[in-house]
Structure 1
Amino acid sequence: MKTFKVLLMAGVYCAFLISVSCAQNKSGSVNLDLHIDKAKQFLDGLEKEKDFSGQAYISYKGKTLLNKGYGYADRENQISNNKNTAFDIGSLTKLYTKAAIIKLIEQGKLTLDESLDNIFKSVPTDKTKITVQQLLEMSSGLPEYVPGAHGDFDRISKENARTAILNHKLNFEPGTANEYSNSGYTVLAMIIEERSKLSYQDFIMKYIVPKDISIHGFYSDDHWEENKVAIGYDMLSHGKRNSPVYWPEPEWGIMGAGGLVTSAEGVSQWLEAIKGGKVLDKKHTALFDQLQLKNPTPRGTTALIRAGGSSYGFTSSIADYPIEQLAVVVSSNTGKFNVPEEVFRNLLSWLIRGEGLEQDNNSVRTQSQNSGGNASPKEAKLNEFLEVISEGNLTSYVKNNFSESFISDHGLEGHVEFLKTIREREGGFEVLETLENRMGFLKVLVGSKKTNENYALEIEFVTSPPFKIDGIGLSPFGGDVINKVVEGNSSEGFSPVENKLMEFLQALSGNESELKKYISDNFERGFLERHEGVDGHYNFLKNFSGGFNDDVELVDLDDNSITINSKLKKNNQVLKITLKISDVDNKITSLGISD
């Protein structure tokens, strides 16, 4: 069955785009009419009224328009963020990993089409022909996270991480699809060490970060000063101070995918160094640009838009318009804000358009609201889907609008029966709000025309024309785990893994002795031993003390594993929980909790 992986961990590719309005002069260069004062007012108001804390850096045609800190880097000691404060930049680290791989290619130590069996020994047969390029482009089929790693700070050796990743079942045949993969970038970090004979961190600092730009480094590096690195707030906490100064150096659960620390200015300066040929030669700078994920604007130019962050209070986002020579970077050390959506999109809108985004700008327009025909391809597909659910030929619709692989997964009759069930029970839907909109994926809140219930409707698309539907999920917006409708898997009762999940969520609300007893009684022996026994697991799970709200969203379910999204009671942070059980005694064999 096609399932959905809601990409909430460090580093989703943001699929939003604020297009630019500009004029070309006679020389062909681009001039923008920027609204920098309004952008500054927006950020000042956010700091004053909503306790935003972080940094913003804006440059245009080589001139710095804004480089400022907001709020506190250290609330307890009232140390303010300034332009030099360093932040955990999360998955923006992947940009540096990509540059490092291309540096190895420039040095003649690696090729893009080189396969894993030519780099490592004893690669499982189904992974042997995965190429370096497929790892870079996230088309390898490797899992989203390092299997068995419980979080950013879970101790796991390089060898154990490589074994866990390469022994995991592929999500798809390499080269046939794209799916976000942190573990693929961890494999790239392993390749960097294998071919350079340096540690990943040493290679990055020696060859990838020029010495004349703002300070860069990794967690726990000796050069960090306590009052110059922000503390993360309003999310999970790790160590005596929730700061990269005190965090352990990056483990192989995130190596290559995260772990870098710098300022917003540092990120922008590094990208300028890349474009200016200070890191790679001209040929390989062009290759770096070619391999970037970019979003086309209506003008035919492209903008690189990325976001990264962690469960520990940090987020960083960047929008780079190379032709327009505009760069915007925002870093934050508060979990109160979803920076890519709540701050970053609005900042770009104020800067480029001179106005903020209205509430209904985030909602998908239905066909009746959009008679002008300006809907995006995904919006158009959504409208068609909603129309056929209300009335229409379901068989013809599935044949013409579902991808071949999706039809193959469930059969034509299976899809038609599923859609008939929805039609009979719900009578169709109305779109209430867009919940998530990114490349190849759309998630909307819909209301049932018959029952007045609300649902989260998720549609996955093939990312090339004609943008056929490649997956569908429908789950109640709120309610318990069992009140669900997911294509190919509806159930009246509780499965063993669902029972185990609900027991686990209840145990999280207990006291220390109750939670430790639950761990001892319900975690598989080998799983206990891999993570320092009951105490090791408890030290991880106490980060989620107080438990989760009753409202959950089902993401994935099969016989032995379940994934949900739910909110922590103490701060309403949405986290993804994945739990797997043994098919022998139903004990927990794997558990992951991440943003």
Structure 2
Amino acid sequence: MNRHNRGARWAPAAAWALLAACEANEPPPQCPSAIAAAESVYRDCIAELGLMASRLTISVAGDIEVEFDGSYTPEKGELAQRTCEPPMEEALALGLLACETTEVGVPATAERLREQVERAGERGFSGSVAIVRDGALVWRGGVGLADRERGLANDSRTAFDCGSIMKVMTAAAIFQLEAEALLARDDRLGELLDGVPADKAAITLAQVLTHRAGFDEYHDTQGDFEAMDRATALQRIFAQELRFAPGTAEAYSNSGYTLLAAVVEEASGVPFPEYLQARLFAPAMMTRTGLYGDDIWPEGQVAVGYDEDRFGCNSPACWPAPSWALMGNGGLVSTVDDLVRWSAAVEAGVLFDADTRDAFRSEVLGARTLTIDGEPAHAYSGRNDFGFGAAVGEVPGRRTWVAVAANAAGNHNNSALLAQLVQMSLGALIELEP
């Protein structure tokens, strides 16, 4: 069975490691972001195989030394070598490239940024990009085809499946409702939802938001498109055995974010999809953002995905509306134009006040500090098995937002391209503080 939200992890440790770049004036072999990116990709990959590394060392040459914990078996170790080392090596190479493309002290022109996107297209990128610097649009456009059979090109108005960027929206709804005193992040699930069993009743919203609740990664058995109503979803999630005592560890959970969608409905009294449109997308002027099944995109302006896996026409244009197998954790469809509008709206206080915004960024987008030219930076991404992927980089102090979306994501690393474009836009290198 395929897990269609594969790699759709927006969690900060993975996204930030891919964006953090080398120290200024250091040669690429010293670039710590390349190592961090490779380690992140490798750890995420082996986790899907049921493995955990107690020690991991990767060199700039691609050599790897790893020791596994008690989860190791020879069969799993061999599978990790075949399955996880190739993407690790790709992330390493692209991480080094991200450090090499920026001319420090010289913000890139629109022409230079366009050339970089076109160069990515020559290396397999098919998708769209929008770049806003200091509050002004610098460049937007696309490369490759949104629909190969019809010969339709990607551009900034093309809509893409954005994978787990949906989780950022779900989290924003929780913070919005807290700002309105309709709930609090220290509220417990047993106080917010019916039927919560004793072992999960004391789990807080904060623990679910940060993947520290102990829930399993999935609650479906057939993938993202499994038909499932809310009651069945909650019943399945509550029946799962917790992976660890809440608050004692971290493990990525799509199921946890489905619970958060149910909490949004309970607190607001509005169906979750309607809440997203009325309280998040409309205020942010995201007129071409919605969910699978929405009828808001003009004919030919929703991309077709190109990867090994397919479902139906392999486009959100004809996919069914998300069931509660996916609700709250995926199913988002948007354009790069709208994704940079989202970033601008969050910064401008359109969705919640400044204190709530700062807490949202700190607690949802990451606990580690990324900086570029002395300014804090944030990043998040999503991906699925059908060719779609998206990534967003934000430098609020410079009112700089970069969005990348792809419909052949398996052919190119979106996060590496995002790192290049953020750095080039500001003429500075992103640094991850120790």
TM-score norm. by structure 1 comes to 0.54
Instruction: Tell me which residue corresponds to 2:119.
Output: 45
Q: Give the 5 Å matches for 1:254-269.
A: 254-269=326-341
Matched, 1:72 2:70: no
User: Could you tell me whether the CA contact under 8 Å between 1:210 and 1:273 is conserved in 2?
Assistant: no
Identity across aligned pairs (percent)?
A: 31
Report the CA distance shift for 1:352/1:8 in structure 2 as closer, same or farther (over 3 A).
farther
Q: Which amino acid aligns with 1:9?
A: G
The residue identity in structure 1 corresponding to 2:176 is K
Correspondence 1:270-419 to 2 at 5 A: 270-294=342-366, 295-297=368-370, 301-348=375-422, 350-351=424-425
- Is residue 206 from structure 1 mapped to residue 278 from structure 2 by the alignment? yes
Find out whether 1:238 has 2:311 as its counterpart. Answer: yes
Match of 2:56 in 1: none
Larger deviation, residues 111-120 vs 11-20:
11-20
1:99 aligns with 2:165: no
Distance in 2 between residues matched to 1:204 and 1:268, nearest whole Å: 17
Q: Higher strand fraction: Structure 1 or Structure 2?
A: 1
Letter in 1 for 2:253: S
Are the counterparts in 1 of residues 383 and 389 from structure 2 also a CA contact under 8 Å? Answer: yes
Question: Runs of 5+ in structure 2 lacking a partner?
Answer: 25-103
Q: Distance in 1 between matches of 2:138 and 2:182?
A: 40
| 1:350 CA drift (Å) | 4.8
Q: Is this contact kept in 2: 1:85–1:229, CA < 8 A? A: yes
SS at match of 1:127: coil
1:73-92, aligned counterparts within 5 Å? Answer: 73-92=146-165
Greater relative contact order, per chain length (Cα 8 Å cut-off, separation 6+): 2
What is the alpha-carbon distance in structure 2 between the residues aligned to residue 116 and residue 88 of structure 1? Answer: 30
SS in 1 for 2:19: coil
Q: Map of 1:161-176 to 2, 5 A cutoff?
A: 161-176=233-248
Q: In structure 1, give the amino acid aligned to 2:150.
A: N
* Alpha-carbon distance change, 196 to 321 in structure 1, aligned in 2, over 3 angstroms: same
Cα separation, partners in 2 of 1:138 and 1:376, compared to 1, 3 Å: same
- Give yes or no for contact 1:19–1:297 (8 Å, CA) kept in 2: no
Q: Do 2:291 and 2:331's aligned partners in 1 also have CA atoms closer than 8 Å?
A: yes
In structure 1, C-alpha distance between the alignment counterparts of 2:308 and 2:428, rounded to whole Å = 32
Q: Deviations over 1:492-538 (max 9, x none)?
A: xxxxxxxxxxxxxxxxxxxxxxxxxxxxxxxxxxxxxxxxxxxxxxx
Query: 1:71-220 counterparts in 2 under 5 A?
Result: 71-146=144-219, 148-211=220-283, 212-220=285-293
1:66–1:194 distance in 2 versus 1, CA, 3 Å: same
Contact residue 369 and residue 432 of structure 2 kept, 8 A = no
Aligned with 1:33 (options 106, 109, 130): 106
1:114 Cα deviation (Å)?
A: 0.6
Counterpart-to-counterpart distance in 1, 2:205 and 2:432: 36
- Name the structure 1 match of 2:8: 10
Counterpart for residue 66 of structure 2: none
Question: 5+ unaligned residues in a row in structure 1: which ranges?
Answer: 1-6, 23-30, 356-373, 378-595
Alpha-carbon distance in structure 2 between the residues aligned to 1:143 and 1:159 = 17
Amino acid at match of 1:132: L
Alignment-mate amino acid for residue 141 of structure 1: G
Deviation at 1:72, TM superposition (A): 0.9
Tell me how large the CA RMSD over aligned residues is: 2.8
Q: Which residue of 1 aligns with 2:300?
A: 227
Residues of 2 paired with 1:113 and 1:167: CA distance? 23
**Structure 2 length as normaliser, TM-score?**
0.73
Cα 1:162–1:66 shift into 2, 3 Å: same
Verify the 8 A CA contact 1:72 1:78 in the aligned structure 2. yes
SS at match of 1:44: helix
**Number of aligned residues:** 343
Q: Does the residue aligned with 1:172 lie in a helix, a strand or coil?
A: coil
Distance verdict in 2 for CA 1:376–1:235, change over 3 Å: farther
CA deviation after TM superposition for structure 1 residue 351, in Å: 4.6
Q: Give 1:108 deviation, angstroms.
A: 2.2
CA contact (8 A) 2:146 2:154 kept: yes
Determine the structure 2 residue equivalent to 1:469: none
